[in-house]
Structure formats: structure tokens, C-alpha cells
Structure 1
Amino acid sequence: MTTTTPTPAAFADAAPAGTLEARIRRHPERFRVMTGDRPTGALHLGHYFGTLHNRVRLQDLGVEVFVLVADYQALTDRDVVERLGATVEGLLLDYLAVGIDPERAVIFNHSAVPALNQLLLPFLSLVSVAELGRNPTVKDEIAHSRQAAVSGLMYTYPVHQAADILFCKGNLVPVGQDQLPHLEMTRTVARRFNERYEQVFPEPEALLSATPLLLGTDGTKMSKSRGNSIALGADADTTARLIKGARTDAERHITYDPEGRPAVSGLVLLAALCLDRDPHAVAEEIGGGGAAALKRTVTEAVNARLAPMRARRAEYAREMGYVRAVLRAGNERANAIADATLGQVREAMGGPV
């Protein structure tokens, strides 16, 4: 039986009555989204189709969006962070280029919001060491850690994320299936705080991403750390070179078969996402054209999709004073909210924290 993989446009249009998506569309003002990225490398197409385009969609629906540059969390799986300042500025350029609007979204970074990080202390008192150790996402991060020994920051990572989400009383978190354990930890922290002290925090809902996993040029998950990604800031020639070197297989006829032909299907899916088309239809059009035709289709689709973003990114890169001002303004807004939340927490707990 042939199945159809929806495109991003189809995800946005599908909203059966009574679903979370339908509730968001009816009352976007009731939701506050918290999301973000660690500044450990350049954002890539996996980030764009996995999260970035959805942040813009939610923003455009009228949802209040908070975007965190998680500079403290960059240290969870590494001893030092190289070129942190430049990487943070690269993230800011990408955010603005894809359409995140600082007039409607709050862009801020961990290290500039002390009260947010202070919430980590009372939140840690609400979970056990065993619970932290059982978190499957933490286990996976530890397995792939770049550190010789696992740091305490790695174990407390899910609780720090709870502070990220709850400082602004975020009640909606866009996540992939693999991130659900982190969000469940946030829900646990909120629930236990409310039960032990008083009702302060919402238990945030997960807005699951429907975008299929995007593979990198080596046929595995696209990742900053694996060197297999296509950065949003890459120029057209670099993008073409990376796609030309992407892994395929020996079979000439192009089909979309993610299980049987993951590398080829990853390229087909990338073209389909960029074109807002069904991947089976894209594969059928290429047919017997082989890997060369597939890579040509993918290159043209990716470069066409990224062209307007690249143009906006270049414009913002010439106005770095403005870009830095966006972060300062976001930090001011985040600080005001974090200070108020920490004040509520102290009052609920009966004294200074």
C-alpha cells in the first residue's frame, strides 16, 4: 500500500476540531510557546523543517513565542564552547532571516537572565537523582557526550529546561518524539511545585512535530556534530557541493522508500519539503534519471527555498548593531518576566530562595 507523507503546508492545514492545533487556531492568545537552540554550531535544514518554520507559523497565528539561545546548556556535553559569541550571532541572523519577528517574539539568552537560572535550585528539590538518571534523553546524550566524564550539568539538563519553560509560564512546547521525556520532566516539576506549595505554574502541552526525520548527506540524522548538515547560512555553491557529495545507492531508478533506501529517500524528502510536495510524486518524476537527476532536483529545490532567507540574512549581517539590539531588548523582557516569576516562587515557598 502506498502512503503519503504530508508536506509542511499540509501539517499547518490539518486541524481536526478538538485537537490541540484547533485550540491554538481558535485562541492563539491563550498560548505561550517556549523553544530554543543550543549555540553549538550553525543551524541547518533539519532545524528549519523541524522547528524554525513552525515557530514562525505559530507567531503568525498570534501565539506569543519565546526563543531561547541556550548558551549555558551548550556546556552540557562539552568541556568548552568554541567561538560562542560568533555562533550566537549566527543563530540570531538565522532567526531573523527565517521570519521570527522581534516585535512579536522574545529572543533572549540564558546567561543574561539570572532569575531564570536561579529557578533551577528549587526545581531540583522536586526531583530525585534516580529520576534524572532514568531520563532516556539524558542517557542518549551521555552516550554521545564529548566529555571524558559526565558533568552534573548533564544530569540536571532536563530540570534546567523546566526552568526555561516555566520561567515565562510557557504552556506549549513544540517537540519531537525523542524530546517528550524532557517535557514530561517539566510537567512533573510544575505539578509537584503546585502540589507542595501553591498553584503557580501551568503543565505545558507538547506540540508534536509532524515533519519526518530529515537525514544528512551521509544518510544518517542531520546533525551539527556529525558534519552532515546543510547550514541555512551556506551559499548556493556550497549547498550544491554538499548535495553533490551526498550518499545514494547503486539502484538507478529513484523511489521513495525510507526503510529500504534511507539515503536516497532522505534526498527525495528534502526536495519534497522544499517544494511543498509529496515525496512519492517527486521520486516518480525523477524515475530513471538516477542519482545525478535526484541531486540536481534537490539542489535546485533547496537553493530556491533558501534564496529569500539568504538575502534577508545578508541584509541583517550588514546591520549587526540592530541584531545585537534585538537580543538586548529580548533579554530585558525575559529578565522582567523571570524576576516576577522568581518573586512568586519565593512567596509561595515562604521566604527567600
Structure 2
Amino acid sequence: MSHDDTFDPEATLTRATERSREIEAQLLTDPARFRILTGDRPTGNLHIGHYFGSLQNRVRLATLGVETFVVIADYQVITDRDGVGPIRERVYSLLTDYLAVGLDPSEVTIFTHSQVPALNQLMLPFLSIVTDAELRRNPTVKSELDDTGDRPMSGLMLTYPVHQAADILFCKANLVPVGKDQLPHLEQARVIARRFDERYGRVDDDRPVFPAPQALLSRSGTVLGLDGTKMSKSKGNTIELGMTADETAKLLKRAVTDSDRHITYDPVNRPEVSNLVNLAALCLDREPVDVAEEIGDGGGGGLKKLVTAAVNDYFAPIRARRAELAADPGYLEQVLADGNRRANEVADATLDEVRGAMRMVY
């Protein structure tokens, strides 16, 4: 961002935390005032970290009555990859997971990047109001680039925050559920919304074309992988939503613990053990400390036994529903076609407003 749009991580997090508390109260009394944009890249199957980190909250918000758009960000797959891989299978896997966890396609718009031309066309005017320097300073761009090793940065990677801004602003989302590490992207979207208004004007000289989207910070902590590090599809330390109970049990049997038989909840000093305790607590809707006390001297074996039962019991109905959905590809195709059609209607209307504000209606 430019000198007058400097991103201060600490100040931004403080503001976002305070505002998120206010928004949570407003969601209970007037959910219709908000429109949410959220989504995922189809780079692999979703796992329980995704569920507790974001999917569960999406269902909560949609159930409250918040209008929700969910993007399957297929174009973003190629920001740091040479090809798309089995993209069709992964897109439908994500869609199946969304429906299985409880997102209702009659209330939630689920769509794919590549099928909404007007959304992606917003990239052109947006790119005209950001600079190369501020994109290179974006903390998330730098983090994503570090994760790719010495791979040269693609133009799509550099403009990743702008593409995300287009995702958010095409549907005029005014609320975006994020973790604190995603705040720089959202701040970039806010800057773009303001700069567009300043440079190109307003609709009928009355209201801005784009609202300034606000962050709704995630309420749940991070679920680590089975090796105690960040849960990641690429690390193979995840439990996928679509796995069977037996597959889940085998993975949890190999999960990392420690040599102390007495189980405690101590995330700082015993991260691996505490992660498993927390996972059981999430599935049982209990406090982690209480779960640890119940296991007591049961050791790693007792802990893994409890976690396995808790995870498999919790996800059994989701997995059953997922199997039903996967067996009906025609239904899945119809859901995605309907979502793409709805997203295109919204994107076309927004692009018309953008052209009007830019005096490009011929």
C-alpha cells in the first residue's frame, strides 16, 4: 500500500478484534444487513482443520440468515503451480464437502472463479489503482512466496491480493470471515474500494460502487496436524472429511504425543498432546482442560482412543451425507450450475456499475 495506506499489523488486528465483537452482536439481531464472501482453493480434499477453522462457522452464519457467497477459487490454483492437476475432481470434492457439512444451496451461492467472467474483469481497473511496490510489501504475498522456495514469483501470485479483492467486491460483500493472517488481503480490498470511489466517482454521484468490507475474525483456534505442525494437505498430516472411520483410526494411531503418561492441556509446553486434547474437546463440545483431566494417567494410548471415538462419532453423519451426495453427480452439477448462474447475475450488475462510474458505457 502507498505511504498513506501503510498496513500496521498490530493496529489492524486490534481494530478487527474489537469490530468483530460488535459484528457478532449485530449478527444476532440483524443478520440481513451483512453479505459474506468466503471460499477455498481446490488444491486437495478438505480436512477437519478446515471444518473447525472455517466450514463450521460458515454454516452458523448462513443459518443465522446472512447472505453468503462461497467461491471455489479454481483460477487461484495456478498462482504457484505449473498446472491445475485433477481440478474437476477437486472442485466437486469441495462442493460435496460444503453440502455435507450443512451449507444449503438454496440459501448459499457456491460458484467457481473461472465461470464468472465479469468478476475477473474487475481485475483490470483494480490493478490500475494499486502499485507494484505495495503488492510486493503485502505480508501474505511474501509468506506465500516463501512457501514456494526459490520459485520465481508469477504475475498472478504478485496480484493475488487484487484477485481476492475482486472476489470480495464483485458481490459487494461487506463482511469476510478471516484468520488474522488474512487481514492484509482484506485491508487491500478496503483500500481498492476506497481508491476506486476517489478516482472514478460514485453511482449517480450518490453512493460508492463498493462497500468497505470488514473482517469477522475466526472464533476457533487452529487445529494442528497429526505431527504437531500446521495442518496441511501437502504435509499429509490431515484427517480428510471424506475419510472412513477406519482410515481415521489408523491416522490417529500414528499421531505424535510425548513420553509423559499424565495427560494435561498445555499448548505451550505440550503442543502435540494438547492438540489432540483440543480436537476431542471440539468434537465433544467440552473444555480441553476437562477432557485432559478425564484421561488423566491414561497416557497417549488413552488419549488417542478418546480422540478417535470423538472424531468418528462427530463426523459420522457428515460422512454419511457426503457419500449420498457423491453418489449423485447430476445433482452436484446442477448445484454448481445454479450457483454460477447466480454469481454471474451479480457480477454482471456490478460490472455495469463499474463501467458507469468509469464513464465507459458506449
TM-score normalised per structure 2:
0.91
2:298 alignment partner, one of 289, 292, 299:
289
2:224/2:231 contact within 8 Å kept: yes
1:65 alignment partner, one of 68, 74, 93:
68
1:78/1:147 contact within 8 Å kept: no
Paired with 2:282 and 2:52, the residues of 1 have a C-alpha distance of: 8
Deviation at 1:81, TM superposition (A): 2.0
> AA paired with 1:22?
A
Per-residue CA deviation, residues 286-308 of structure 1 (Å, 9 max, x unaligned), is 11000000000110010011000
Aligned to 1:163: 166
Per-residue CA deviation, residues 300-349 of structure 1 (Å, 9 max, x unaligned), is 01001100000101111111100110000000000011011011001101
1:232 alignment partner, one of 241, 245, 248:
241
Higher mean Cα deviation, 144-153 or 128-137?
A: 144-153
The answer to whether structure 1 residue 327 and structure 2 residue 336 are counterparts is yes
2:349 alignment partner, one of 340, 346, 349:
340
Aligned to 2:50: 47
Structure 2 residues without counterparts, runs of 5 or longer? 1-17, 203-207
The answer to whether structure 1 residue 79 and structure 2 residue 88 are counterparts is no
Cα distance change, pair 18–139 in 1 and its aligned pair in 2 (3 A):
closer
Aligned to 1:253: 262
Paired with 1:277 and 1:50, the residues of 2 have a C-alpha distance of: 17
Give the CA RMSD over aligned residues.
1.6
> AA paired with 2:198?
E
1:217/1:247 contact within 8 Å kept: yes
Number of residue pairs matched?
Answer: 339
For 1:181-192, list aligned pairs within 5 A. 181-192=184-195
Per-residue CA deviation, residues 193-224 of structure 1 (Å, 9 max, x unaligned), is 11212210001110000211110011001111
Paired residue secondary structure (1:19): helix
Deviation at 1:17, TM superposition (A): 12
Deviation at 1:18, TM superposition (A): 7.4
> AA paired with 1:315?
E
Paired with 2:19 and 2:298, the residues of 1 have a C-alpha distance of: 39
1:176 alignment partner, one of 176, 179, 182:
179
1:77/1:146 contact within 8 Å kept: no
Paired with 2:119 and 2:148, the residues of 1 have a C-alpha distance of: 25
Structure 1 residues without counterparts, runs of 5 or longer? 1-14
Paired residue secondary structure (1:48): helix
Cα distance change, pair 16–31 in 1 and its aligned pair in 2 (3 A):
closer
For 1:311-322, list aligned pairs within 5 A. 311-322=320-331
2:36 alignment partner, one of 11, 33, 36:
33
2:20/2:217 contact within 8 Å kept: no
Deviation at 1:42, TM superposition (A): 0.5
The answer to whether structure 1 residue 193 and structure 2 residue 196 are counterparts is yes
Cα distance change, pair 224–168 in 1 and its aligned pair in 2 (3 A):
same
TM-score normalised per structure 1:
0.94
Paired with 1:313 and 1:352, the residues of 2 have a C-alpha distance of: 46
Paired with 1:212 and 1:152, the residues of 2 have a C-alpha distance of: 33
Deviation at 1:148, TM superposition (A): 2.8
Deviation at 1:26, TM superposition (A): 1.1
1:77/1:147 contact within 8 Å kept: no
2:20/2:215 contact within 8 Å kept: no
Higher mean Cα deviation, 141-150 or 68-77?
A: 141-150
